Amino acid sequence: LPAAVLLKDTKLMDVKLGQLGSWLAMRDFTPGGILGAIRRGHQRYYNKYINVRKGGLGGLSMLLAGYIALSYMWSYSHI
């Protein structure tokens, strides 16, 4: 039998649609919580795509594509 996981500790991809409201209510939306989430996301990205033993262009090209998309949206305010 799989161990029961608290809804608070469940990843977003594992949350059922009916549980989404209560899962969002348990998130920490304070400035410190948001900063911590950004920091964890950066660490996850860095360790997966940049800080690897045998790297490729995948991580850097995704970062560049994101920058291009953002700069395009900033340049054209009607989008």
Six-digit token string for 75: 């340049």
Q: How far apart, in Å, are the Cα atoms of 71 and each of 27, 28, 46, 62, 76? A: 30, 29, 22, 14, 9
Q: How far apart, in Å, are the Cα atoms of 63 and each of 22, 45, 58, 60? A: 33, 10, 9, 5
pLDDT over 70 percentage in the chain: 90
- Predicted local confidence at residue 55, as pLDDT: 64
- Predicted local confidence at residue 8, as pLDDT: 74
Q: Give the pLDDT confidence of 4-34 residue by residue, as tens digits.
A: 667 777 888 888 888 888 888 888 889 999 9
Q: Give the pLDDT confidence of 42-63 residue by residue, as tens digits.
A: 999 888 877 877 767 777 888 8
